[in-house]
A and B are shown apart, each in its own frame.
Chain A
Amino acid sequence: MPDRSAVIRVERLSKHYETPAGPFPVLKEIDLTVQRGEFVAVMGPSGSGKSTFMNILGCLDRPSSGGYWLDGEDVNGLDVDQRAGLRNRTIGFVFQGFNLLPRMTLTDNVALPLVYAGLARKERDGRAVRVLERVGLGSYVGSYPNRISGGQQQRVAIARALVNDPRLILADEPTGNLDSHTSEEIMALFGELNAGGITVVLVTHEPDIAAHARRLVRFLDGRIVHDGPVGQGREAGR
């Protein structure tokens, strides 16, 4: 039986891509449990399968085999619409490339998940503005993504991930496109959210970024080769 209190529980999860040369394994029988309120950093060399793993956790992709329970619910058994509901309400996904819609104001960008949640306009806008204020962008509500800096864009993306009060934030190299100072600010924001009770799992290549987390998971060649508190993880990498 899956652990009921775990936010994420993954068992013997594998993923392979079909290539002309035959199946190409990317994830090999991964087991992982993340408890409520954890702050997990995922590291590993390029091509080790981190993004693939995050996409499966974010219900953007499906595993080839193995089980995935989100909040005790078997995700593999859900249909497209139910998975869309999870992405909308339970998970907030933050991408390396921000992925904002350029023709919409920041408020509209942040409010977009609430459109799909079926909320009324007033409620949507109110919540979007409040979340934008929370990430420190209260004075940019009517602006457009191409008029603000990368760091600010990532804040907007985080606001969008937060707007529907998710229990889990998944971030795939959220600071990958940002300078070290801005990265620190973004990580401080993740730290705050985690302190507020949200479970955070983020992928990074920077040990300094990973240092903000409390648990470190290391990927190599589609397997988890290390799982422990942050301090030890950094030594293991050296």
Chain B
Amino acid sequence: MISGVMTAEAWRAMGANRMRTALTMLGMVIGVAAVVLMMAIGQGAQDDVKASINSMGSNLFIVLSGSTTSGGVRMGGGAAPTLTVSDGEAIAELPGVEAVAPVHMGTAQLVYGPNNWSTTVLGTTPNYVDLRSWPIAQGAPFTDSDVRSATRVALIGQTVAENLFGGENPVGRTIRIKQNPFLVVGVLSERGQSLDGRDQDDTVMVPWTTAQRKLFGTPFPGAVRSLMVRAISEDAMPRLEGAMTELLRQRHHLRPDADADFMIRNLTAVAESMAETTRIMSLLLGAIASVSLLVGGIGIMNIMLVSVTERTREIGIRIAIGARPRDIRQQFLLEAVMMSCAGCLIGVMLGVGCAVLAHSLAQTSVVITGKSIVLAFCVAAMVGIFFGFYPANKAARMEPIAALRYE
């Protein structure tokens, strides 16, 4: 039973000592602002990661060729020519596979007119862009017949387009990659950063046959360093991983006790663990900020105890004219809750303001959700009740005679 009078009285009591009320609320204000800001930054980081994951393409495996040991020096994954394009074709036949694309990568210098630019050249098949869910902005992807005949055609990323062409339309122009002329058939849409912070738009795609024969050369034609495999769904991934392992071991004639000469990585799982990490990090940020909320709550408790002592006589009078312990308790609880909620309101505004400022000054990603604000208010109300309870109870349990005699 919280009536209008009680609210009015709590308001009057808060107004009776404005400076003290303001300073007490300041603790709450800072605590809530910190929580709102930290949650906004945490949510922003999570959304960034999520966007990166989505931009990577979903349900992806990467199959790497195995390592070799030459003269006791282990060369690392992808060094041995154990994985072939026909391995990829065999994998494409497995149930649960949506698409497979071979990847043969290298770095090369690009030239167009007076401009030049060094970037990663990725040799692959036309379906690579679908597999990575990466739309073409202008032009069209190269075709299977381009792959068959190792044509010199290229799809370029946004960063490359900007650096070589500026504002010009690159489609239909000829660029030089390692001195070889390549026709630009299309420009990829903008992708932004990958999870590890690389610029995904700084790339050029060419048919893998062209990459092997005309650009980088290889002692093992048909062998690739890696294959990108996309499963039809996330649920299909664990079973597919097993099927691929079995298939490749069989194709590579490996004995059951032999080490595999390839590696399969589940990129989606990696991405998910990364998302989990940012989630935990933002939770941690929130938890640290909550400590200041706790300190704010203790400030309220402190001032409520002072207030109860100061108003002992008033409490005595109220009891003498018929206030029950619960009336007195409610009065002081309400005051504590109002103080913490008012502090919360200002804190939310301050926190949102700081988040907007952080965004415009430091380009930090911030996301303010209604959920975080509602949560802040609930926590503030709870802090008010929790820290107001002891002082309110102390007031409610006063002996009327002793309280009336208090000077």
Residue numbers of A with Cβ under 8 A of B are 55, 58, 60-61, 80-81, 84-85, 87-89, 93, 95, 99-101, 103, 112-113, 115-117, 121, 160, 164
Contact = CB atoms under 8 A, between A and B. Distances in A.
A89 B322 contact: yes
Q: Most chain-A Cβ atoms within 10 A of its Cβ — which of B16, B317, B326? A: B317
Contacts of B404: 60, 95, 99
B280 interface: no
Contacts of B320: 58, 60, 87, 93, 95, 99
A112 B321 contact: yes
Contact of A160 (B16, B321, B323, B400): B321
A61 B324 contact: no
5 contacts: A61-B400, A85-B322, A85-B324, A88-B321, A103-B12
Given A55-B401, A103-B16, A117 B322 contact: yes
Contacts of B222: none
A113 B324 CA distance: 11
A117 B404 CA distance: 21
Contacts of B316: 99
A132 B204 CA distance: 92
A39 B16 CA distance: 41
B319 interface: yes
Contacts of B319: 60, 84, 87
Contacts, number: 59
A60 B318 CA distance: 11
Contacts of A81: 324-326
Given A93-B320, A101-B317, A115 B325 contact: no
Contacts of A112: 318, 321
A237 to B, nearest CB: 28
B401 A60 contact: yes
Nearest to A95: B404
A121 B5 contact: yes
A173 to B, nearest CB: 14
Given A60-B400, A101-B314, A103-B12, A84 B5 contact: no
A116 B6 CA distance: 10
Contacts of B98: none
A89 B322 CA distance: 8
B190 interface: no
B12 A80 contact: no
B101 to A, nearest CB: 77
Contacts of B5: 115, 121
B4 interface: yes
Minimum-distance CB pairs A-B, first 8: A88-B322, A84-B324, A60-B400, A113-B321, A116-B322, A87-B322, A81-B324, A99-B317
Nearest to A117: B322
Contacts of A88: 321-322
B327 interface: yes
Contacts of A58: 320
Contacts of A115: 3, 5
B312 to A, nearest CB: 12
A60 B323 CA distance: 12
Contacts of B16: 103
A99 B318 CA distance: 10
Nearest to B404: A99
B5 to A, nearest CB: 5
Interface in B305-320: 313-314, 316-320
Contacts of A84: 319, 322-325
A95 B319 CA distance: 14
B173 to A, nearest CB: 82
Contact of B324 (A60, A99, A116, A160): A116
Contacts of A85: 322, 324
B318 A80 contact: no
B394 to A, nearest CB: 15
A83 to B, nearest CB: 9
Interface in B387-407: 400-401, 404
A47 to B, nearest CB: 15
Contacts of A87: 319-322
Q: Most chain-B Cβ atoms within 10 A of its Cβ — which of A58, A80, A115? A: A115
Contacts of B327: 116
Interface in B68-115: none
Given A101-B317, A103-B16, A121-B5, A116 B401 contact: no
B4 A121 contact: yes
A93 B325 CA distance: 19
Contacts of A117: 322
B263 to A, nearest CB: 75
Nearest to A118: B1
A217 B318 CA distance: 29
Nearest to A89: B322
Nearest to A112: B321
B14 to A, nearest CB: 12
B276 to A, nearest CB: 53
A95 B321 CA distance: 11
A80 B401 contact: no
B120 to A, nearest CB: 75
B317 A116 contact: no
Q: Most chain-B Cβ atoms within 10 A of its Cβ — which of A58, A84, A116, A117? A: A84
A93 B320 CA distance: 8
Contacts of B318: 112, 116
A112 B9 CA distance: 11
A116 B12 contact: no
A53 to B, nearest CB: 12
